[in-house]
Amino acid sequence: MIKANFTPMIESTTVPPHLLDTFRQTYPHQTPDIVARAPGRVNLLGGHVDVQEGLVLNIAIDREIWLAAAAGTDGHLEVYAADLGESATVALDQLDSHADVTGADLPRWAQYPAGVAWALRRRDLPLPGMAVAFTGNVIMRAGLSSSAAVEEAFAIAWQALSGWTLPPGELAQVGREAEREYMGLGTGIQDQFTALHGRRDHTLLIDCRTLDYQHIALPPQVRVVVCDTNTRRELVGSSYNTRAQDTHATVQIIRQDLPEVKTLRDVSPEQLAAFRPRLTESQFRRSRHMISEIARVRAGGEALAAGDTGTFGGLMNESYRSARDDYGSSSPALDAMWDAASQHPACLGARYSGGGEAGAVVALVEAHAVDNFIAATARRYARATGRDGALFPVDPADGAGVIR
């Protein structure tokens, strides 16, 4: 694996044609200094294990967030979310209030860039005010990490305008702190790290303890298809944090006898079984998912490096069943989409991407059959649920960067 923090950010050259027009209409007396982009991601293996310092295997995808920004001198972050048609203005010296300049609570979407500013300022980094317009084609709240893409696009924009430089691994930590500490979400680091370290045509294997990583080529005979259930949930108000807390509680109980254990990554299946009488059923089952999932990622990385897409797909199916049966993070809609996808003979494997409970299933599909897979799976899902899904292929993309 490559040691953490040694990958330069990759520059892109494509600017969405409407972005600059949106910026000029929103801020008619300003000209953007930079345009930045950051990709979404899908999680092929390693669901939830980043919070226990496990291994994950992702791809950054060719669905992105783009922003245009102009530096300001008034100490304010002005943001226009073009896809929502909403704006917010935040005083950079009043971020702890979680309020805009009028004293109203910040809307949820604006807390992501505000949280990035908060995490950068606690590092004593100078931050100029910014006027920003942003847009994107990463579906929100579908498990494609639109929030991490927003965070990292803002982080690299501030970096470009401010003159300081943080390694990509540290910029990923900034995004994680925005979610965990500023917004109170029990998330890990895989989303932000993938947004910064993605590589075209490659998957990304991340060690979430050391932040070492490895790019593994995605074999050309397969493609990744996002199968969106068109159901949504917020991490806030869902059971996401509760499930993570169960696994943290397991670690604390085990540490009473085995103080060398830091996270569930350090616990074997046999050790977990020995502690079962001291755990609640949910603590045991959710921790069992974590431990088995870390093992699946190890096996999956080896299979993918060897071009064994059949084995890799089988591990994706095992991952879904474990998340559904042990971690308890599926939903009727996700189950219906997974069933529909798995019935197709060209589907090698599938699991959900993201936090679960709603959003998208991601499938590994033989490349020659993608169109047929999409049509057949969409029909099966609609028959089973009475709801239309949104299915589309995605390709591995480069990580975040400054376009101009």
Query: What CATH number corresponds to the domain at position 192?
Result: 3.30.230.10
- pLDDT, tens digit (0-9, with 9 covering 90-100), for 84-104: 999 999 999 999 999 999 999
d(CA 277, CA 150): 43
pLDDT greater than 70 at residue 50: yes
Residue 10 lies in a domain: no
Task: Assess whether 250 and 143 both reside in one domain.
Answer: no
Task: Assess whether 366 and 303 both reside in one domain.
Answer: yes
Q: Other C-beta atoms within 10 Å of 175: how many?
A: 31
At 3 the three-state DSSP class reads coil
d(CA 342, CA 325): 17
- 93 as an active site residue: the answer is no
Residue 2 lies in a domain: no
Task: Assess whether 248 and 383 both reside in one domain.
Answer: yes
Task: Assess whether 175 and 251 both reside in one domain.
Answer: no
Q: Angle CA(299)–CA(300)–CA(301) in degrees, nearest 5?
A: 95
Task: Assess whether 238 and 315 both reside in one domain.
Answer: yes
At 43 the three-state DSSP class reads strand
Average pLDDT over residues 62-68: 96
Higher pLDDT, 195 or 357: 195
- pLDDT, tens digit (0-9, with 9 covering 90-100), for 157-181: 999 999 999 999 999 999 999 999 9
Average pLDDT over residues 52-71: 96
Task: Assess whether 103 and 161 both reside in one domain.
Answer: yes
* Segment (H or E) for 253: helix 240-255
For the chain, what is the mean pLDDT?
Answer: 93
Residue 31 lies in a domain: yes
List 402's β-bridge partners, or say none.
36
**Confidence class of residue 8 from pLDDT cuts 50, 70 and 90?**
very low
Average pLDDT over residues 213-231: 97
Q: What is the pTM of this model?
A: 0.92
- pLDDT, tens digit (0-9, with 9 covering 90-100), for 139-151: 887 788 899 999 9
Q: What is the pLDDT of residue 404?
A: 77
Task: Assess whether 211 and 258 both reside in one domain.
Answer: no
Average pLDDT over residues 200-222: 97
Residue 267 lies in a domain: yes
Question: Which of 217, 246, 267 is at the close of a domain?
Answer: 217
List 193's β-bridge partners, or say none.
none
Question: Which of 217, 251, 272 is at the close of a domain?
Answer: 217
Number of domains in the chain: 2
d(CA 302, CA 306): 6
Pick the catalytic residue from 191, 228, 246, 326. Answer: 191
Residue 12 lies in a domain: no
**Do 197 and 204 meet the contact criterion of CB atoms below 8 Å apart?**
yes
Task: Assess whether 322 and 245 both reside in one domain.
Answer: yes
Please tell me the least confidently modeled range out of 28-42, 120-134, 229-243.
229-243
d(CA 383, CA 392): 19
Task: Assess whether 202 and 270 both reside in one domain.
Answer: no
Question: Which of 183, 217, 251 is at the close of a domain?
Answer: 217
At 378 the three-state DSSP class reads helix
Q: Cα-flanking dihedrals φ and ψ of residue 203, to 5°?
A: -90, 170
Please tell me the least confidently modeled range out of 13-17, 172-176, 390-394.
13-17
Helices (H), 258-305: 269-275, 281-305
Q: What is the pLDDT of residue 232?
A: 82
**From residue 127, how far is each of 20, 155, 312, 400 by CA, in Å?**
23, 10, 44, 20
Task: Assess whether 250 and 196 both reside in one domain.
Answer: no
Could you tell me the sign of the dihedral formed by the alpha carbons of 328, 295, 181, 402, in that order?
A: negative
* Segment (H or E) for 39: strand 34-45
**Do 79 and 31 meet the contact criterion of CB atoms below 8 Å apart?**
no
**Confidence class of residue 238 from pLDDT cuts 50, 70 and 90?**
low
Q: What is the pLDDT of residue 144?
A: 85
Residue 8 lies in a domain: no
pLDDT greater than 90 at residue 13: no
Look up the CATH number of the domain holding residue 245.
3.30.70.890
Percent of the chain with pLDDT over 70: 96
**Residue 114 domain boundaries:** 17-217
Residue 269 lies in a domain: yes
DSSP string, 74-127: SSEEEEEETTTTEEEEEETT-GGGTB-TTSPBPPHHHHHHHHHHHHHHTTT---
**Confidence class of residue 60 from pLDDT cuts 50, 70 and 90?**
very high
- pLDDT, tens digit (0-9, with 9 covering 90-100), for 322-362: 999 999 999 999 999 999 999 999 999 999 987 788 889 99
Percent of the chain with pLDDT over 90: 85
Tokens of 106: 């910040």
Residue 5 lies in a domain: no
- pLDDT, tens digit (0-9, with 9 covering 90-100), for 258-267: 999 999 999 9
Query: Cβ contacts of residue 369 below 8 Å, gap of 6+?
Result: 344, 345, 346
Tokens of 133: 């317009």
Task: Assess whether 104 and 248 both reside in one domain.
Answer: no
Task: Assess whether 383 and 345 both reside in one domain.
Answer: yes
